[in-house]
Structure 1
Amino acid sequence: MSKVQQGMVLLIEAFHKYSGTEGDKHTLTKGELKGLLNAELGDFLGKTNDKTALDQIFKDLDANADGTVDFQEYVTLVACITTLCHEFFTKGK
């Protein structure tokens, strides 16, 4: 498997590690999202203990306003964070 394919598999596995622990296995609740953000992205984002910040992140991600974050909405978050990291690490090169 190529590195890109491995990355895709890892993104899918990370989503499903947290989805369904509180509800639908195809979406993330706010609690599941918090667990994912803290465990998988905490080094980049810091710990999400601020309820107001978590509420805003969840609201921004929940594009269809159904009260959950689906896989496409999760991938949007990862893509945005990846873009910011790319810009940070390539700045001045």
Structure 2
Amino acid sequence: MCSNLQKAMIDLIEVFHSYSGKEGDKYKLSKEELKTLLQNELSGLMAESKDPAVVDKIMTDLDENQDGEVDFQEFVVLVAAVVVACHTFFEDLDKGNVTPCSRS
């Protein structure tokens, strides 16, 4: 039986591979694959950005080896950054320092 963390790790791997390899290398995300992943999996966060070049900026920041694609290790950096930001947000929410915009 898997722990919650093990399930989360499996889900993360499965999400990555459900988008990677539709174009080119099956172990990497092209810019279009990354864009689709972000729109489908993080649509709420993407909707907050009014910058049409946000995917280009994310791609540039993630593509550490500058090969024009995002491999799993580079993808995990994005996930970690988003998780840390969400954790900080909810800590501030618990302290009453922020008000969520879409909570009922």
| TM-score of the superposed pair, with normalisation by structure 1 | 0.91
- 1:44-83 paired onto structure 2 within 5 Å: 44-46=45-47, 50=52, 52-83=53-84
2:42 aligned counterpart, secondary structure: helix
Q: Which has the higher contact order (CA 8 A, sep 6+)?
A: 1
Q: Share of identical aligned residues, percent?
A: 49
Instruction: Return the offset for 1:23.
Output: 1.1
CA separation of 1:86/1:47 partners in 2, compared to 1, >3 Å: closer, same or farther?
closer
- What is the root-mean-square deviation of aligned Cα atoms in Å? 1.7
CA separation of 1:87/1:6 partners in 2, compared to 1, >3 Å: closer, same or farther?
same
1:4 — aligned with what?
5
Q: Which amino acid aligns with 1:67?
A: G
CA separation of 1:47/1:38 partners in 2, compared to 1, >3 Å: closer, same or farther?
farther
Aligned mates of 2:10, 2:48 — CA distance in 1? 24
Aligned mates of 2:6, 2:47 — CA distance in 1? 27
Q: Which amino acid aligns with 2:91?
A: T
- The count of residues paired between Structure 1 and Structure 2 equals 92
> Where does structure 2 lack aligned partners over 5 or more consecutive residues?
97-104
Aligned mates of 1:47, 1:21 — CA distance in 2? 27
Aligned mates of 1:53, 1:38 — CA distance in 2? 11
Q: Which has the higher helix share?
A: 1
Instruction: Return the offset for 1:45.
Output: 2.9
| TM-score of the superposed pair, with normalisation by structure 2 | 0.82
Contact 1:38/1:47 (<8 A) preserved: no
> Where does structure 1 lack aligned partners over 5 or more consecutive residues?
none
Aligned mates of 2:46, 2:54 — CA distance in 1? 11
